[in-house]
Homo-oligomer: A and B are copies of this chain.
Amino acid sequence: MNLILLSPADIETDRLARVTDPRRLAHLRTVNRARAGERMTLGIEDGRMGQGELLTLADDEALFDIADLDQPPPPALPVHLVLALPRPRMLARTLEHVTALGVKQITLLHTRRVEKSYWQSPELTAEKIRHHLVLGLEQARDTRLPSVTLAKGFRPFVEDHLPGLAEGRRALMAHPGMPNACPRGLDTPTLLLVGPEGGFIPWEVERLLAAGCEGIHLGPRILRVETAVTALLARLF
């Protein structure tokens, strides 16, 4: 944890926060090797961040002075990421990567090459998703939780949701073999669609192009989803 992320339930007063969950307490002791009196980087979920003192660290709780948290979180990436649902372990890691990189809107999409069983994975419970988002924020020193939406049908997504998402955003579909290389250094609102392992099927590519998406590629190499998403975000922004 490069930042101790405090949830609303942790906040006692505007000066004091109390952490009681075993994960963070164990991390404070064994990884941070924190001691009372130490100043640490703290952040309030969806709020400000900064340095605060660890007042006490006991077996069952840690108390922090949060009076001095006066900095905003780092800027977000101007992107809504639409990602074909990866297999569960890759989903977990990808959520952490993209949260750490600053993505704030994520839609997980069904496409033909997404195995239907993935939608039943325990990794898709709100609690598990939140866990990976929090790990990404703690890693990157950020406080603003991304929103994650599930789109379990490709056709309803394209017909009912994509037009709204693409409005005011440059819509990019990353797919091998598209004519244009991934652009660099954008700072305008962007919608980025990334297919599953094996890619979008040709019918899906046609539908997305017809809906106004620009096809872009990352070169001749075929990358795993988690590598491709990180590479796309790093090159685009």
Number of identical protomers? 2
Contact of A2 with B by CB under 8 A:
yes
CB–CB A221/B184 < 8 A: no
Contact between chains at B97 and A221 (CB < 8 Å): no
Which of these, B102, B142, B219, B234, contacts A230 with CB under 8 Å?
B234
Contact A223–B184 (Cβ < 8 Å): no
Give the CA-CA distance A191 to B66 in the complex, in Å: 42
Write the chain B residue with the least CB distance to A219.
B74
Return chain B residues, CB-CB under 8 Å to A224. Answer: 96-97, 100, 139
Nearest CB to that of A224 among chain B residues?
B139
Looking at the complex, which one of B101, B220, B230, B234 makes contact with A141 (CB distance below 8 Å)?
A: B220
Contact call A141/B221, Cβ cutoff below 8 A: yes
Contact bitstring A101-122, B, C-beta under 8 A = 1, else 0: 1100000000000000000000
Whether the pair B184, A222 counts as a contact (CB closer than 8 A) is no
Cβ–Cβ contact A222 & B101, under 8 A? no
- The minimal Cβ–Cβ distance linking A3 to chain B, given in whole angstroms, is 9
For chain A residues 211-237, which have a beta carbon within 8 Å of chain B? 218-224, 227, 230-235
Given A230-B227, A230-B230, A231-B230, the answer on whether A100 and B140 have CB atoms closer than 8 Å is no
Known contacts being A230-B231, A230-B234, A235-B234, is A221 close to B142, with CB within 8 Å?
yes
Cα of A71 to Cα of B231 in the assembled complex, Å: 26
Bound Cα distance A108, B97 (Å): 23
Residue of B74, B218, B223, B231 near A221 (CB, 8 A) is B74
Shortest beta-carbon contacts, A-B, top 10: A231-B234, A140-B221, A234-B234, A74-B220, A230-B230, A234-B235, A2-B222, A97-B227, A184-B184, A100-B223
Q: Provide 19 A-B residue pairs closer than 8 Å at the C-beta atoms, listed in order of the A residue.
A: A2-B222, A74-B219, A74-B221, A100-B222, A100-B223, A101-B227, A102-B221, A140-B221, A140-B223, A142-B221, A184-B184, A184-B235, A218-B234, A227-B230, A230-B230, A230-B231, A231-B234, A232-B234, A234-B234
